[in-house]
Structure 1
Amino acid sequence: MYSNFSSPFVISNTFIDDLLKSVISLFVVVNPIDKIPLFITLTEKMEKENKKLVSKNAIITTAILLTVFLR
């Protein structure tokens, strides 16, 4: 009834385990919670729109750097 063909959409437990370990490790290294007071201090005199722009740029830059250096 069932074939030996495995679907390409089936995710193995080892993949999920490795992904979870990687995400947790990156969270520990980047430590975004620790950066909140620094961001607030550095942007306290900025307008709301500028704060949004700075935060978006920081998120994009961090994502690119982590992606490049983890390869």
Structure 2
Amino acid sequence: MTVNRIVRIVAGFFIMLSLILAHVMGQVDLGKLSWLWFTLFVGANLFQSGFTRFCPMDTILEKLGVPTQDPNCTTGRCG
């Protein structure tokens, strides 16, 4: 497992956990339709993409022609 995949898993987990904790504490009502459902969707996608390597945003960006790696990077560890 790579650092990138672990970061996606942890980030997605914490997004979903924060929404669940806010709901349990009565600060957020997830029973109502709101933009917080979009936040939950993003967190769930981050979480699952860490395990499955499928990310809808990756697919969209590839179809738009965005390169997957910096062409100037020769080590594979470039930001």
* TM-score, normalised with respect to structure 1: 0.35
Q: State the structure with more CA Rg.
A: 1
| Greater per-residue helix proportion | 1
